[in-house]
Amino acid sequence: MNLWWLMVVCGAITFGIRYSFIAAEGHYQPPTWFRRLLPFVPIAALTALVAPELLLVQGEIMLGGDNQRLWAGLVAIVVAALWRNTLLTIGCGFLALFVLQRI
């Protein structure tokens, strides 16, 4: 029973965080600096998710050739910058990883 309560509490907290600004919109006047931050949310939040995946191997920064995810990620970054195509980027990233793991 305790477990179900815990799940409900954690679900409520998670939902509350996601609902916070959506609910508050229109009920408060955010300062202009706050509005200026918002265009950067996708880039800042998603890059924060990606960078450790590429640069860290078991918690340590690894820049050498042994870090296949880093090089496959760099291939994906170049492909994304040149062609702006989601599936092509994912395909080339996986292909690069596949090749690097076998040489």
- Minimum distance from CB of 36 to another protein (Å)? 5
Q: Which is nearer to another protein, 26 or 64 (CB)?
A: 26
Interface residue with another protein, options 29, 87, 102, 103 (CB under 8 A): 87
Q: What are the b/e assignments for 13-35, b being 16+ CB within 10 Å?
A: eeeeeeeeeeeeeeeeeeeeeee
Does 90 bind another protein (CB under 8 A)? Our answer is yes
Interface residue with another protein, options 31, 84, 102, 103 (CB under 8 A): 84
Closest CA to 100 of 79, 78, 70, 77: 70
